[in-house]
Chains A and B, each alone.
Chain A
Amino acid sequence: MLQAIILVVAQTIVLLAVSPFLVGLIRKVKARLQLRRGASVLQPYADLAKLFRKQPVVSTTTSWIFTATPYIVFASTLAAGLLVPIFVSRTPLDFAGNIIAVVYLLALGTFFLMLAGLDAGSPFGGMGSSREAIVASLTEPAMILSIFAIALTKGSTNLSTIVHKTALLEGIAMDPSPYLMALAALLIVALAETGRVPVDNPATHLELTMIHEAMVLEYSGRYLALIEWAAGLKLAVFLSLIANVFAPWGIATTLAPTAMGIGLLAYLLKVSGLAVLIGILESMFAKLRLFRVTELLGVAFILALLGLLFFYILRS
């Protein structure tokens, strides 16, 4: 029991500590690819510390939803992160929810962000919320289908079981096609859900294009810090999900201290590698026009559907 509590606390600390680093790493990679020196990878930590010290300004026209949303978003994203195996393949909280719970915990945060965007009554907030609603409604089926494709090949929707089985090379003789399709679909979904370049641009506040930034435009001080941190957490959750479901090797399958040390190191290497990949992808592609986003997410949906179909077609 005590061991489980320590593990959960350790996972919380790792997730909270890693997420600003990933955001900083992506910015650094983009800056280097543009031949700029760029800010230090530790800059997001300093930003968060600064924002937490600032006094928040809340519009008099807002209701309780506006002030409650940062806490709800932060808590639901962190809860989703605790259900994903990070450096130990069996998370102590795996009884609390499966992979479907992770999807809808993240969706809960998105839902409240959309409400908060509408709450202040500013035109940008409403615009951002409506765009986020488009993106969220299209990513959800793609994400659920790709998750089903993985769950079918492993015979379980429980993330800990999926990761544990893959890490122990059980059922490795399965056909690779459903996995590849699901991986491609999840990568597109991750880019769309975390507001990355082909869908949204996290680096600008240009009113014509912004989605996430438009929703959180009214926030300041510690509320903004919580929302920014939650956005980083969401990125960390998606990267951990992709890294540990598709390449769980190195993750600790036992609770021995050395195994956990190796697991932590492997985890940091994997998510950093994925963050660098996202930085490169962001530099390679231009942001899509909003009405072309549906086509990209349609492709993600079809990839996930194909992953599911290949499981049945190529079963023998």
Chain B
Amino acid sequence: MQISSHIGSQLVDLCSALLLLTCFAIVAQRRLSACVDLFALQSAFLVLTAALVAFLTGNHHIYIAAGLTGLIKVIIIPRVLKKVIERLNVKRELVMNVNVPAGLLICGALVMLAFFITQPILPLGFLLTRDSLAIAFAIVLIGFFTMIARQKAVSQMVGFLVMENGLFLGATAATYGMPLIVELGVFFDVLIAVLIAGIYTNRLQDAFDSADTSHLTVLKE
């Protein structure tokens, strides 16, 4: 039992490390469709992490949450986003508010920040997933940073979804997942948010012939 829980905890750690790695890949990636693919990959790692936690702890409701994550974030949302990208006349993001190497360095600093903030809390926990809390926090921060650093609506949406993935990982790490009814509500929220943001991006495209959200700052009554 001791050894198997040790290996299990290591596997969870490895999966959450891969989640964080895909975050960095999203920050470094300029092609919009590749960003969406990377988000789908990240969600797949999230499903794997959640399934592992469910298997190791015997909390069966996490399986349902993992299955829903797989359905919504690996299949449906990437498809919706791909549809939106098809309508756009921009395939890659050339101008960013922060360039790629600087963005990567800032994200490295954000990981350190997340680590130092969660450091005092970690010894209080006894769950086998508690190491993932720092990583989950870092993913939320990096998602937030992506929303700030990018100009195109689609990559801002990807940043929002990455944040959501971080929150889900954090909930799984800190408390073995939220109650199922809350999770269902969150999934529904995210799905609707992406659909609305997709329609909004299309409107943006029609109005300005670009998906650049910085155009919105010049809107007047």
A binds B: yes
A interface residues (Cβ-Cβ under 8 A, vs B): 173, 175-177, 180-181, 294-295, 298-299, 301-303, 305-306, 309-310, 312-316
Asked whether B107 lies within 8 Å of A302 as measured between CB atoms, the reply is: yes
Q: A residues within 8 A CB of B135?
A: 313
> What is the minimal beta-carbon distance from B219 to any residue of chain A, in angstroms?
34
Asked whether A306 lies within 8 Å of B14 as measured between CB atoms, the reply is: no
- In the complex, what residue of chain A is closest to B13 when comparing beta carbons? A314
Choice from A176, A303, A312 contacting B10 with Cβ under 8 Å: A176
User: Which of the listed residues A298, A299, A313, A314 has the most CB atoms from chain B within 10 Å of its own CB?
Assistant: A313
> 11 more A-B contacts (CB under 8 A) besides A302-B107, A314-B131, A316-B130?
A173-B6, A177-B13, A298-B104, A299-B104, A302-B24, A303-B24, A306-B20, A310-B17, A313-B134, A316-B122, A316-B131
Asked whether B28 lies within 8 Å of A309 as measured between CB atoms, the reply is: no
Q: In the complex, what distance in Å separates the CA atom of A173 from the CA atom of B108?
A: 26
User: Which 10 pairs, one residue from A and one from B, show the smallest C-beta to C-beta distance?
Assistant: A298-B101, A177-B17, A314-B13, A302-B104, A314-B131, A313-B134, A305-B108, A298-B104, A295-B100, A313-B115
How many residues of B are in contact with the other chain, CB < 8 A? Answer: 23
Asked whether A306 lies within 8 Å of B105 as measured between CB atoms, the reply is: no
CB<8 Å pairs between A and B, sample of 13: A175-B13, A176-B10, A176-B14, A177-B17, A181-B17, A298-B105, A302-B24, A302-B108, A306-B108, A309-B115, A313-B134, A313-B135, A315-B131
> What is the minimal beta-carbon distance from B99 to any residue of chain A, in angstroms?
9
- In the complex, what residue of chain A is closest to B99 when comparing beta carbons? A295
Asked whether B131 lies within 8 Å of A313 as measured between CB atoms, the reply is: yes
Q: Is B211 at the interface (CB under 8 A from chain A)? A: no
Q: In the complex, what distance in Å separates the CA atom of A312 from the CA atom of B13?
A: 12
Enumerate B83-140 residues with CB–CB distance to A below 8 Å.
100-101, 104-105, 107-108, 111-112, 115, 122, 130-131, 134-135
> What is the minimal beta-carbon distance from B73 to any residue of chain A, in angstroms?
23
Q: In the complex, what distance in Å separates the CA atom of A299 from the CA atom of B100?
A: 9
